Structure 1
Amino acid sequence: MTEIAFLGLGAMGLPMARRLLDAGHRLTVWNRTAARAEPLAAAGARLARNPAQAVEGAEVVVTMLADPAAVEAVLRDAAPGLRPGTTVVDMSTIGPDAVRDLAGRLPAGVAFVDAPVMGSTPRAEAGELTIFAGGEVAPAVEPVLAALGTVVHCGPLGSGAALKLVNITAVITSVTAVAEALALAGALGVEREAAERSLAAGPLGAIVGRALDTYSAFGLGLAAKDLALALDAAKGLRVVAAAGEQLHAAAGERGAGADLSAVVTHLRGVTA
Protein backbone atom coordinates (compact mmCIF):
# COMPACT_ATOMS: atom_id res chain seq x y z
CA MET A 1 0.00 0.00 0.00
CA THR A 2 1.07 3.57 -0.68
CA GLU A 3 1.98 6.25 1.86
CA ILE A 4 -0.28 9.18 0.92
CA ALA A 5 -0.67 12.74 2.16
CA PHE A 6 -4.01 14.32 1.26
CA LEU A 7 -4.23 18.11 1.48
CA GLY A 8 -7.67 19.68 1.20
CA LEU A 9 -10.85 18.09 2.56
CA GLY A 10 -13.64 20.06 0.97
CA ALA A 11 -16.84 18.70 -0.53
CA MET A 12 -14.90 16.53 -2.98
CA GLY A 13 -11.65 16.05 -1.08
CA LEU A 14 -13.24 14.45 1.97
CA PRO A 15 -14.95 11.54 0.15
CA MET A 16 -11.89 11.08 -2.08
CA ALA A 17 -9.61 10.80 0.95
CA ARG A 18 -12.02 8.34 2.55
CA ARG A 19 -11.89 6.19 -0.60
CA LEU A 20 -8.10 6.01 -0.33
CA LEU A 21 -8.30 5.08 3.33
CA ASP A 22 -10.91 2.40 2.64
CA ALA A 23 -8.66 1.01 -0.12
CA GLY A 24 -6.04 0.27 2.52
CA HIS A 25 -3.57 3.07 1.78
CA ARG A 26 -1.70 4.69 4.66
CA LEU A 27 -3.15 8.16 4.83
CA THR A 28 -2.10 11.41 6.47
CA VAL A 29 -4.52 14.32 6.07
CA TRP A 30 -4.44 18.06 6.51
CA ASN A 31 -7.13 20.68 6.10
CA ARG A 32 -7.13 24.35 6.95
CA THR A 33 -10.27 23.79 9.02
CA ALA A 34 -9.05 20.92 11.18
CA ALA A 35 -12.53 19.74 12.18
CA ARG A 36 -13.10 18.52 8.61
CA ALA A 37 -10.42 15.87 9.18
CA GLU A 38 -11.93 14.39 12.33
CA PRO A 39 -14.11 11.73 10.59
CA LEU A 40 -11.02 10.45 8.77
CA ALA A 41 -9.01 10.38 11.99
CA ALA A 42 -11.74 8.28 13.56
CA ALA A 43 -11.42 5.88 10.60
CA GLY A 44 -7.64 5.53 11.00
CA ALA A 45 -6.02 8.43 9.16
CA ARG A 46 -3.21 10.41 10.77
CA LEU A 47 -3.80 14.13 11.27
CA ALA A 48 -1.08 16.67 10.49
CA ARG A 49 -0.74 20.11 12.04
CA ASN A 50 0.45 21.69 8.80
CA PRO A 51 1.19 20.75 5.16
CA ALA A 52 4.93 20.22 5.77
CA GLN A 53 4.24 17.69 8.49
CA ALA A 54 1.59 15.99 6.36
CA VAL A 55 3.93 15.28 3.45
CA GLU A 56 6.88 13.96 5.47
CA GLY A 57 7.58 10.43 4.28
CA ALA A 58 4.76 10.45 1.71
CA GLU A 59 5.23 8.68 -1.61
CA VAL A 60 2.26 10.52 -3.11
CA VAL A 61 0.91 13.92 -2.10
CA VAL A 62 -2.62 14.71 -3.30
CA THR A 63 -3.91 18.28 -3.34
CA MET A 64 -7.62 19.00 -3.79
CA LEU A 65 -8.10 22.73 -3.32
CA ALA A 66 -10.23 25.61 -4.53
CA ASP A 67 -8.06 27.54 -6.96
CA PRO A 68 -4.50 28.18 -8.18
CA ALA A 69 -3.69 30.54 -5.31
CA ALA A 70 -4.74 27.96 -2.72
CA VAL A 71 -2.66 25.20 -4.35
CA GLU A 72 0.37 27.50 -4.60
CA ALA A 73 0.09 28.51 -0.93
CA VAL A 74 -0.31 24.95 0.35
CA LEU A 75 2.55 23.56 -1.75
CA ARG A 76 4.77 26.42 -0.60
CA ASP A 77 3.99 25.49 3.01
CA ALA A 78 4.52 21.80 2.24
CA ALA A 79 7.87 22.28 0.47
CA PRO A 80 10.09 21.80 3.57
CA GLY A 81 8.64 18.29 4.01
CA LEU A 82 8.86 17.16 0.37
CA ARG A 83 11.65 14.74 -0.50
CA PRO A 84 13.13 13.51 -3.81
CA GLY A 85 11.08 10.62 -5.19
CA THR A 86 7.75 12.04 -4.00
CA THR A 87 5.02 12.72 -6.58
CA VAL A 88 2.62 15.61 -6.09
CA VAL A 89 -0.76 14.92 -7.71
CA ASP A 90 -2.90 18.00 -8.02
CA MET A 91 -6.56 17.09 -8.51
CA SER A 92 -7.90 20.63 -8.30
CA THR A 93 -9.13 22.63 -11.29
CA ILE A 94 -6.45 25.26 -11.83
CA GLY A 95 -5.72 25.26 -15.56
CA PRO A 96 -2.59 24.20 -17.45
CA ASP A 97 -0.61 27.42 -16.99
CA ALA A 98 -0.81 27.16 -13.21
CA VAL A 99 0.12 23.47 -13.39
CA ARG A 100 3.32 24.14 -15.28
CA ASP A 101 4.19 27.08 -13.03
CA LEU A 102 3.72 25.06 -9.85
CA ALA A 103 5.67 22.09 -11.19
CA GLY A 104 8.62 24.40 -11.80
CA ARG A 105 8.60 25.57 -8.20
CA LEU A 106 8.83 22.15 -6.55
CA PRO A 107 12.05 21.01 -4.87
CA ALA A 108 14.48 19.04 -7.02
CA GLY A 109 13.51 15.40 -7.49
CA VAL A 110 9.81 15.94 -6.72
CA ALA A 111 7.52 14.99 -9.62
CA PHE A 112 4.21 16.62 -10.50
CA VAL A 113 1.09 15.15 -12.10
CA ASP A 114 -2.03 17.14 -12.94
CA ALA A 115 -5.08 14.94 -12.44
CA PRO A 116 -8.26 17.02 -12.10
CA VAL A 117 -11.55 15.16 -11.86
CA MET A 118 -15.00 15.24 -13.40
CA GLY A 119 -17.90 14.00 -11.33
CA SER A 120 -20.24 14.86 -8.48
CA THR A 121 -19.84 14.31 -4.76
CA PRO A 122 -21.83 11.04 -4.96
CA ARG A 123 -19.44 9.81 -7.68
CA ALA A 124 -16.50 10.70 -5.49
CA GLU A 125 -18.02 8.65 -2.68
CA ALA A 126 -18.50 5.71 -5.05
CA GLY A 127 -15.04 5.92 -6.63
CA GLU A 128 -16.57 6.68 -10.03
CA LEU A 129 -14.81 9.92 -10.98
CA THR A 130 -13.25 10.55 -14.37
CA ILE A 131 -9.62 11.57 -13.84
CA PHE A 132 -7.76 13.51 -16.52
CA ALA A 133 -4.08 12.76 -15.90
CA GLY A 134 -1.29 14.83 -17.42
CA GLY A 135 2.41 14.17 -17.02
CA GLU A 136 4.29 10.99 -16.19
CA VAL A 137 2.18 8.85 -13.86
CA ALA A 138 4.59 6.81 -11.74
CA PRO A 139 3.75 3.22 -10.70
CA ALA A 140 3.10 4.37 -7.13
CA VAL A 141 0.49 6.84 -8.38
CA GLU A 142 -1.55 4.43 -10.53
CA PRO A 143 -3.31 2.56 -7.67
CA VAL A 144 -4.01 5.84 -5.92
CA LEU A 145 -5.87 7.21 -8.92
CA ALA A 146 -7.53 3.86 -9.65
CA ALA A 147 -9.15 3.91 -6.20
CA LEU A 148 -10.88 7.15 -7.12
CA GLY A 149 -12.19 6.40 -10.60
CA THR A 150 -11.31 5.88 -14.24
CA VAL A 151 -8.02 7.40 -15.38
CA VAL A 152 -7.74 9.06 -18.80
CA HIS A 153 -4.06 9.53 -19.68
CA CYS A 154 -4.00 12.80 -21.60
CA GLY A 155 -0.35 13.39 -22.43
CA PRO A 156 2.33 15.76 -21.13
CA LEU A 157 2.15 17.90 -18.01
CA GLY A 158 -0.78 20.31 -18.16
CA SER A 159 -2.81 18.26 -20.64
CA GLY A 160 -5.07 16.85 -17.94
CA ALA A 161 -5.79 20.33 -16.62
CA ALA A 162 -6.52 21.52 -20.15
CA LEU A 163 -8.98 18.73 -20.95
CA LYS A 164 -10.72 19.17 -17.60
CA LEU A 165 -11.17 22.86 -18.32
CA VAL A 166 -12.70 22.06 -21.72
CA ASN A 167 -15.15 19.58 -20.18
CA ILE A 168 -16.19 21.61 -17.16
CA THR A 169 -16.69 24.74 -19.28
CA ALA A 170 -19.04 22.80 -21.55
CA VAL A 171 -21.01 21.48 -18.56
CA ILE A 172 -21.32 24.82 -16.75
CA THR A 173 -22.36 26.81 -19.80
CA SER A 174 -24.84 24.10 -20.80
CA VAL A 175 -26.41 24.02 -17.34
CA THR A 176 -26.76 27.80 -17.49
CA ALA A 177 -28.38 27.54 -20.93
CA VAL A 178 -30.87 24.96 -19.61
CA ALA A 179 -31.61 27.26 -16.67
CA GLU A 180 -32.42 30.05 -19.13
CA ALA A 181 -34.60 27.72 -21.22
CA LEU A 182 -36.58 26.80 -18.11
CA ALA A 183 -36.88 30.48 -17.23
CA LEU A 184 -38.19 31.09 -20.75
CA ALA A 185 -40.72 28.28 -20.25
CA GLY A 186 -41.97 30.01 -17.14
CA ALA A 187 -42.24 33.35 -18.91
CA LEU A 188 -44.27 31.70 -21.70
CA GLY A 189 -46.60 29.99 -19.26
CA VAL A 190 -45.32 26.47 -19.98
CA GLU A 191 -45.88 24.15 -17.05
CA ARG A 192 -42.55 23.64 -15.27
CA GLU A 193 -42.82 19.84 -15.09
CA ALA A 194 -43.72 19.62 -18.78
CA ALA A 195 -40.73 21.74 -19.75
CA GLU A 196 -38.39 19.67 -17.60
CA ARG A 197 -39.72 16.37 -18.98
CA SER A 198 -39.47 17.43 -22.61
CA LEU A 199 -35.94 18.80 -22.21
CA ALA A 200 -34.84 15.71 -20.31
CA ALA A 201 -36.12 13.49 -23.11
CA GLY A 202 -34.04 15.30 -25.74
CA PRO A 203 -30.33 15.56 -26.54
CA LEU A 204 -29.68 17.66 -23.41
CA GLY A 205 -30.98 14.99 -21.08
CA ALA A 206 -27.81 14.58 -19.01
CA ILE A 207 -27.38 18.34 -18.68
CA VAL A 208 -31.00 18.73 -17.57
CA GLY A 209 -30.34 16.09 -14.95
CA ARG A 210 -27.36 18.08 -13.66
CA ALA A 211 -29.30 21.34 -13.74
CA LEU A 212 -31.98 19.79 -11.51
CA ASP A 213 -29.54 17.84 -9.31
CA THR A 214 -30.03 18.47 -5.58
CA TYR A 215 -27.33 16.08 -4.31
CA SER A 216 -24.09 17.51 -5.68
CA ALA A 217 -22.00 20.21 -4.04
CA PHE A 218 -20.29 22.15 -6.82
CA GLY A 219 -20.53 25.71 -5.60
CA LEU A 220 -21.48 28.62 -7.82
CA GLY A 221 -18.29 30.37 -6.78
CA LEU A 222 -16.13 27.46 -7.93
CA ALA A 223 -18.06 27.21 -11.20
CA ALA A 224 -17.51 30.92 -11.84
CA LYS A 225 -13.81 30.45 -11.08
CA ASP A 226 -13.59 27.69 -13.68
CA LEU A 227 -15.21 29.87 -16.32
CA ALA A 228 -12.78 32.66 -15.46
CA LEU A 229 -9.91 30.23 -16.12
CA ALA A 230 -11.43 29.42 -19.51
CA LEU A 231 -11.75 33.10 -20.37
CA ASP A 232 -8.13 33.67 -19.39
CA ALA A 233 -7.07 30.85 -21.70
CA ALA A 234 -9.05 31.89 -24.78
CA LYS A 235 -10.41 35.30 -25.68
CA GLY A 236 -13.73 35.91 -27.38
CA LEU A 237 -15.74 33.18 -25.61
CA ARG A 238 -18.96 35.18 -25.45
CA VAL A 239 -21.22 32.35 -24.32
CA VAL A 240 -18.81 31.49 -21.53
CA ALA A 241 -18.63 35.14 -20.48
CA ALA A 242 -22.43 35.40 -20.40
CA ALA A 243 -22.72 32.21 -18.35
CA GLY A 244 -20.18 33.63 -15.91
CA GLU A 245 -22.32 36.74 -15.45
CA GLN A 246 -25.35 34.59 -14.65
CA LEU A 247 -23.37 32.56 -12.13
CA HIS A 248 -22.14 35.68 -10.37
CA ALA A 249 -25.69 37.00 -10.19
CA ALA A 250 -26.96 33.69 -8.79
CA ALA A 251 -24.13 33.60 -6.25
CA GLY A 252 -25.00 37.12 -5.13
CA GLU A 253 -28.54 35.97 -4.37
CA ARG A 254 -28.04 32.37 -3.27
CA GLY A 255 -24.46 32.47 -1.95
CA ALA A 256 -21.22 31.34 -3.56
CA GLY A 257 -21.45 27.97 -1.83
CA ALA A 258 -24.84 27.10 -3.32
CA ASP A 259 -24.69 24.28 -5.85
CA LEU A 260 -24.54 25.06 -9.56
CA SER A 261 -28.19 23.98 -9.85
CA ALA A 262 -29.15 27.11 -7.90
CA VAL A 263 -28.78 29.05 -11.15
CA VAL A 264 -32.08 27.44 -12.22
CA THR A 265 -34.07 28.78 -9.27
CA HIS A 266 -32.28 32.13 -9.51
CA LEU A 267 -33.22 32.64 -13.16
CA ARG A 268 -36.74 31.41 -12.53
CA GLY A 269 -37.13 34.19 -9.98
CA VAL A 270 -35.58 36.82 -12.25
CA THR A 271 -38.02 36.11 -15.09
CA ALA A 272 -41.09 35.52 -12.93
Structure 2
Amino acid sequence: MGSAIVRRLVATGHRVTVWNRTAEKATPLAGLDIGIAATPAAAVAGAELVITMLTDAAAVEAALLGPGDTAAVAALRPGTVVVQMSTIGPDEMRTLAARMPPGVPVLDAPVGGSVGAAGTGTLAIFAGGSPDVLGLAEPLLRDLGAVHHCGPIGAGSALKLVVNAAMITSIGALHDTLAVAGAVGVDPAIALQALAAGPLDRAVQRATATGASFAIALAAKDLRLALRDVPAAPVTAAALDLLHAAADPAADIATLIDLETR
Protein backbone atom coordinates (compact mmCIF):
# COMPACT_ATOMS: atom_id res chain seq x y z
CA MET A 1 0.00 0.00 0.00
CA GLY A 2 2.84 2.39 0.77
CA SER A 3 4.27 2.00 -2.73
CA ALA A 4 0.86 2.59 -4.32
CA ILE A 5 0.43 5.76 -2.28
CA VAL A 6 3.88 6.97 -3.33
CA ARG A 7 3.09 6.41 -7.00
CA ARG A 8 -0.20 8.28 -6.65
CA LEU A 9 1.44 11.23 -4.90
CA VAL A 10 4.12 11.48 -7.56
CA ALA A 11 1.50 11.26 -10.31
CA THR A 12 -0.43 14.14 -8.73
CA GLY A 13 2.61 16.41 -8.54
CA HIS A 14 3.94 15.97 -5.02
CA ARG A 15 7.63 15.81 -4.12
CA VAL A 16 8.19 12.60 -2.18
CA THR A 17 10.98 11.01 -0.16
CA VAL A 18 10.46 7.43 1.05
CA TRP A 19 11.91 5.13 3.65
CA ASN A 20 11.14 1.43 4.05
CA ARG A 21 12.13 -0.84 6.92
CA THR A 22 13.20 -3.39 4.30
CA ALA A 23 15.36 -1.38 1.90
CA GLU A 24 14.91 -3.66 -1.10
CA LYS A 25 11.14 -3.09 -1.02
CA ALA A 26 11.79 0.49 -2.12
CA THR A 27 13.82 -0.66 -5.14
CA PRO A 28 10.81 -0.81 -7.53
CA LEU A 29 10.26 2.89 -6.83
CA ALA A 30 13.77 3.87 -7.95
CA GLY A 31 12.57 4.81 -11.44
CA LEU A 32 10.28 7.51 -10.05
CA ASP A 33 11.37 11.08 -9.44
CA ILE A 34 11.62 10.61 -5.66
CA GLY A 35 14.20 10.46 -2.90
CA ILE A 36 14.93 7.17 -1.16
CA ALA A 37 16.21 7.68 2.39
CA ALA A 38 18.30 5.34 4.49
CA THR A 39 16.61 6.29 7.79
CA PRO A 40 13.29 7.73 8.97
CA ALA A 41 15.09 10.90 10.09
CA ALA A 42 16.54 11.40 6.62
CA ALA A 43 13.13 10.79 5.04
CA VAL A 44 11.34 13.49 7.05
CA ALA A 45 14.05 16.16 7.10
CA GLY A 46 12.51 19.34 5.70
CA ALA A 47 9.14 17.71 5.02
CA GLU A 48 5.88 19.63 5.25
CA LEU A 49 3.86 16.45 5.72
CA VAL A 50 4.87 12.93 6.80
CA ILE A 51 2.83 9.78 6.12
CA THR A 52 3.31 6.51 7.99
CA MET A 53 2.01 3.31 6.40
CA LEU A 54 3.40 0.40 8.40
CA THR A 55 2.39 -2.99 9.74
CA ASP A 56 1.41 -2.16 13.31
CA ALA A 57 1.75 0.28 16.19
CA ALA A 58 5.17 -1.04 17.22
CA ALA A 59 6.54 -0.37 13.74
CA VAL A 60 5.03 3.13 13.66
CA GLU A 61 6.41 3.96 17.10
CA ALA A 62 9.88 2.71 16.18
CA ALA A 63 9.96 4.73 12.95
CA LEU A 64 8.68 7.95 14.47
CA LEU A 65 9.99 7.92 18.03
CA GLY A 66 13.13 5.87 18.17
CA PRO A 67 15.29 4.82 19.79
CA GLY A 68 18.32 6.63 18.43
CA ASP A 69 18.98 9.61 16.20
CA THR A 70 17.81 7.80 13.06
CA ALA A 71 14.15 7.97 14.16
CA ALA A 72 11.93 10.56 12.54
CA VAL A 73 11.54 12.53 15.78
CA ALA A 74 15.19 13.56 15.49
CA ALA A 75 14.46 15.52 12.30
CA LEU A 76 10.79 16.54 12.56
CA ARG A 77 10.50 20.30 12.53
CA PRO A 78 7.71 22.26 14.25
CA GLY A 79 4.73 22.58 11.94
CA THR A 80 5.34 19.35 10.05
CA VAL A 81 2.06 17.42 9.93
CA VAL A 82 2.30 13.69 10.71
CA VAL A 83 -0.47 11.70 9.02
CA GLN A 84 -0.66 8.21 10.55
CA MET A 85 -2.31 5.95 7.95
CA SER A 86 -1.40 2.51 9.32
CA THR A 87 -4.16 0.37 10.83
CA ILE A 88 -3.59 0.43 14.59
CA GLY A 89 -5.85 0.48 17.64
CA PRO A 90 -7.51 3.76 18.66
CA ASP A 91 -5.82 3.62 22.06
CA GLU A 92 -2.47 3.06 20.36
CA MET A 93 -3.16 6.05 18.11
CA ARG A 94 -3.97 8.32 21.04
CA THR A 95 -0.83 7.22 22.89
CA LEU A 96 1.30 7.83 19.82
CA ALA A 97 -0.14 11.31 19.30
CA ALA A 98 0.47 12.21 22.94
CA ARG A 99 4.15 11.26 22.62
CA MET A 100 4.86 13.42 19.58
CA PRO A 101 6.95 16.57 20.09
CA PRO A 102 5.20 19.87 20.84
CA GLY A 103 4.40 21.79 17.69
CA VAL A 104 4.14 18.67 15.48
CA PRO A 105 0.43 18.17 14.71
CA VAL A 106 -0.83 14.63 14.17
CA LEU A 107 -3.72 13.28 12.12
CA ASP A 108 -5.19 9.80 12.53
CA ALA A 109 -6.00 8.74 8.94
CA PRO A 110 -6.21 5.01 8.13
CA VAL A 111 -7.63 4.11 4.75
CA GLY A 112 -10.30 1.88 3.28
CA GLY A 113 -9.54 0.28 -0.06
CA SER A 114 -6.68 -1.64 -1.57
CA VAL A 115 -3.72 -0.84 -3.81
CA GLY A 116 -5.95 -0.35 -6.84
CA ALA A 117 -7.93 2.36 -5.05
CA ALA A 118 -4.71 4.06 -3.98
CA GLY A 119 -3.55 4.10 -7.58
CA THR A 120 -6.73 5.76 -8.81
CA GLY A 121 -7.12 8.14 -5.86
CA THR A 122 -10.33 6.52 -4.67
CA LEU A 123 -9.39 5.44 -1.15
CA ALA A 124 -11.71 6.17 1.76
CA ILE A 125 -9.70 8.08 4.35
CA PHE A 126 -11.03 7.92 7.93
CA ALA A 127 -9.61 11.05 9.54
CA GLY A 128 -9.42 11.62 13.27
CA GLY A 129 -8.00 14.82 14.73
CA SER A 130 -8.69 18.50 15.03
CA PRO A 131 -10.34 20.27 12.10
CA ASP A 132 -7.37 22.65 11.92
CA VAL A 133 -4.89 19.80 11.46
CA LEU A 134 -7.18 18.11 8.96
CA GLY A 135 -7.31 21.37 7.02
CA LEU A 136 -3.52 21.34 6.71
CA ALA A 137 -3.42 17.79 5.38
CA GLU A 138 -6.62 17.63 3.38
CA PRO A 139 -5.36 19.12 0.08
CA LEU A 140 -2.86 16.26 -0.24
CA LEU A 141 -5.23 13.61 1.13
CA ARG A 142 -7.84 14.51 -1.50
CA ASP A 143 -5.37 13.34 -4.13
CA LEU A 144 -5.55 9.91 -2.48
CA GLY A 145 -9.31 9.67 -2.00
CA ALA A 146 -12.39 10.89 -0.18
CA VAL A 147 -11.73 12.26 3.29
CA HIS A 148 -14.24 11.52 6.07
CA HIS A 149 -13.72 13.43 9.33
CA CYS A 150 -14.67 10.99 12.08
CA GLY A 151 -13.91 13.01 15.22
CA PRO A 152 -10.89 13.40 17.51
CA ILE A 153 -7.62 11.45 17.43
CA GLY A 154 -8.41 7.73 17.57
CA ALA A 155 -11.80 8.04 15.88
CA GLY A 156 -10.38 7.26 12.46
CA SER A 157 -8.59 4.17 13.72
CA ALA A 158 -11.74 3.04 15.51
CA LEU A 159 -13.87 3.32 12.38
CA LYS A 160 -11.22 1.50 10.33
CA LEU A 161 -11.44 -1.47 12.72
CA VAL A 162 -15.23 -1.48 12.38
CA VAL A 163 -15.03 -1.45 8.58
CA ASN A 164 -12.37 -4.16 8.48
CA ALA A 165 -14.23 -6.36 10.96
CA ALA A 166 -17.30 -6.22 8.70
CA MET A 167 -15.32 -6.96 5.55
CA ILE A 168 -13.26 -9.82 6.99
CA THR A 169 -16.19 -11.52 8.69
CA SER A 170 -18.14 -11.30 5.43
CA ILE A 171 -15.29 -13.16 3.68
CA GLY A 172 -15.56 -15.80 6.42
CA ALA A 173 -19.31 -16.00 5.85
CA LEU A 174 -18.73 -16.46 2.13
CA HIS A 175 -16.22 -19.22 2.85
CA ASP A 176 -18.78 -21.12 4.94
CA THR A 177 -21.66 -20.43 2.56
CA LEU A 178 -19.72 -21.94 -0.32
CA ALA A 179 -18.96 -24.94 1.88
CA VAL A 180 -22.72 -25.36 2.34
CA ALA A 181 -23.17 -25.03 -1.43
CA GLY A 182 -20.67 -27.82 -2.01
CA ALA A 183 -22.28 -30.04 0.61
CA VAL A 184 -25.76 -29.75 -0.91
CA GLY A 185 -24.59 -30.11 -4.49
CA VAL A 186 -24.84 -26.53 -5.77
CA ASP A 187 -22.24 -25.62 -8.39
CA PRO A 188 -19.92 -23.01 -6.80
CA ALA A 189 -20.11 -20.72 -9.84
CA ILE A 190 -23.91 -20.72 -9.66
CA ALA A 191 -23.76 -20.11 -5.92
CA LEU A 192 -21.43 -17.14 -6.41
CA GLN A 193 -23.71 -15.68 -9.04
CA ALA A 194 -26.69 -15.90 -6.71
CA LEU A 195 -24.76 -14.56 -3.72
CA ALA A 196 -23.54 -11.58 -5.74
CA ALA A 197 -27.16 -10.41 -5.88
CA GLY A 198 -27.70 -10.77 -2.13
CA PRO A 199 -26.32 -9.62 1.22
CA LEU A 200 -22.85 -11.07 0.50
CA ASP A 201 -22.44 -9.08 -2.71
CA ARG A 202 -19.46 -7.05 -1.46
CA ALA A 203 -17.76 -10.19 -0.16
CA VAL A 204 -18.16 -11.80 -3.58
CA GLN A 205 -16.70 -8.70 -5.23
CA ARG A 206 -13.69 -8.76 -2.91
CA ALA A 207 -13.16 -12.50 -3.24
CA THR A 208 -13.16 -12.32 -7.02
CA ALA A 209 -11.24 -9.04 -7.37
CA THR A 210 -7.91 -8.83 -9.13
CA GLY A 211 -5.20 -6.41 -8.10
CA ALA A 212 -6.27 -6.28 -4.45
CA SER A 213 -3.80 -7.05 -1.70
CA PHE A 214 -4.60 -7.61 1.99
CA ALA A 215 -2.47 -10.27 3.62
CA ILE A 216 -4.20 -12.80 5.86
CA ALA A 217 -1.70 -12.01 8.62
CA LEU A 218 -2.63 -8.32 8.53
CA ALA A 219 -6.34 -9.15 8.52
CA ALA A 220 -5.78 -11.31 11.61
CA LYS A 221 -3.93 -8.47 13.29
CA ASP A 222 -6.86 -6.14 12.62
CA LEU A 223 -9.41 -8.60 14.01
CA ARG A 224 -7.32 -9.09 17.15
CA LEU A 225 -7.37 -5.32 17.63
CA ALA A 226 -11.12 -5.23 17.03
CA LEU A 227 -11.75 -8.01 19.55
CA ARG A 228 -9.46 -6.67 22.27
CA ASP A 229 -12.18 -4.84 24.21
CA VAL A 230 -15.25 -6.77 23.03
CA PRO A 231 -16.64 -9.20 25.64
CA ALA A 232 -18.59 -11.32 23.15
CA ALA A 233 -18.27 -11.36 19.36
CA PRO A 234 -18.52 -15.01 18.33
CA VAL A 235 -18.82 -14.42 14.58
CA THR A 236 -15.74 -12.19 14.52
CA ALA A 237 -13.86 -14.67 16.71
CA ALA A 238 -14.76 -17.47 14.30
CA ALA A 239 -13.46 -15.40 11.37
CA LEU A 240 -10.21 -14.91 13.26
CA ASP A 241 -9.93 -18.68 13.77
CA LEU A 242 -10.35 -19.11 10.01
CA LEU A 243 -7.51 -16.66 9.38
CA HIS A 244 -5.26 -18.40 11.90
CA ALA A 245 -5.87 -21.74 10.15
CA ALA A 246 -4.84 -20.42 6.71
CA ALA A 247 -1.89 -22.19 5.11
CA ASP A 248 -0.18 -19.01 3.89
CA PRO A 249 -0.45 -15.95 6.17
CA ALA A 250 1.16 -13.79 3.48
CA ALA A 251 -1.53 -14.61 0.90
CA ASP A 252 -4.40 -12.27 0.12
CA ILE A 253 -7.63 -12.84 2.05
CA ALA A 254 -9.35 -13.83 -1.20
CA THR A 255 -7.41 -17.12 -1.07
CA LEU A 256 -9.69 -18.12 1.81
CA ILE A 257 -12.25 -18.74 -0.92
CA ASP A 258 -11.55 -21.92 -2.90
CA LEU A 259 -9.78 -20.97 -6.13
CA GLU A 260 -12.14 -23.26 -8.04
CA THR A 261 -14.96 -20.85 -7.21
CA ARG A 262 -13.23 -17.73 -8.53
Pairwise same-fold verdict (TM > 0.5) = yes
Counterpart CA distance in 2 for 1:245 and 1:39 is 35
Q: CA RMSD in A?
A: 1.6
Which range moves more in the overlay, 134-143 or 52-61?
A: 134-143
C-alpha displacement of 1:138: 4.2
2:202 is the alignment partner of 1:206: yes
CA contact (8 A) 2:90 2:155 kept: yes
Give CA-to-partner distance per residue, 1:229-272, whole Å, 9 cap, x none.
0011322111111100001101xx1x111001111129x9xxxx
Amino acid of the structure 2 residue aligned with 1:46: G
The secondary structure found in structure 1 opposite 2:209 is coil
CA contact (8 A) 1:84 1:110 kept: yes
User: Which SS does the other structure have where 2:199 is aligned?
Assistant: coil
Is 2:176 the counterpart of 1:180? yes
Contact preservation (8 Å) 1:55, 1:82: yes
The question of 1:101 aligning with 2:95 is answered yes
- The answer to whether 1:120 aligns with 2:109 is no
Aligned counterparts, 1:237-248, within 5 A: 237-248=233-244
- Partner amino acid for 1:57? G
Q: How does 1:1-272 map to 2 (within 5 A)?
A: 12-76=1-65, 77-136=71-130, 137-250=133-246, 253=247, 255-265=248-258
Report if aligned partners of 2:115, 2:213 keep a CA contact under 8 Å in 1: yes
TM-score (norm 1): 0.89
- Relative to structure 1, the CA distance from residue 232 to residue 185 in structure 2 (aligned partners, 3 Å threshold; closer, same or farther) is same
Q: CA deviation at 1:51?
A: 0.2
CA deviation after TM superposition for structure 1 residue 139, in Å: 3.6
In structure 1, how many angstroms separate the alpha carbons of the residues matched to 2:148 and 2:255?
30
Structure 1, unaligned runs of 5 or more: 1-11
**For 1:176 and 1:60, how far apart are their aligned partners in 2?**
38
Contact 2:129 2:151 in 1 (8 A): yes
Which consecutive segments of 4 or more residues in structure 1 shift more than 6 A? none
> Unaligned regions of 5+ residues in structure 2, if any?
66-70
**Superposed CA offset, 1:98-126 (max 9, x none):** 10010111111111111000002111111
CA distance in 2, matches of 1:265, 1:72: 37
Contact 1:183 1:264 in 2 (8 A): no
**What is the CA–CA distance in structure 2 between the aligned matches of 1:199 and 1:189, rounded to whole Å?**
16
- What amino acid maps onto 1:81 in structure 2? A
- Give the whole-Å Cα distance in 2 for the aligned partners of 1:95 and 1:125: 26
- Distance in structure 1 (CA, Å) of the matches to 2:85 and 2:55: 10
Q: Deviations over 1:196-241 (max 9, x none)?
A: 1111111221221112324211000000000000011322111111
**Identical aligned residues as a percent:** 53
Question: In the alignment, residue 13 of structure 2 is paired with which amino acid?
Answer: G
After superposition, the C-alpha distances for 1:12-61 in whole angstroms (9 at most, x for unaligned) are 11011111111111111101222322343321101111001111111111
* TM-score, structure 2 as length reference: 0.93
| Equivalences, count | 254
C-alpha deviation, 1:140, in angstroms: 3.3
CA offset at residue 188 of structure 1? 1.7
Q: Given residue 27 of structure 1, which amino acid in structure 2 is its aligned partner?
A: V
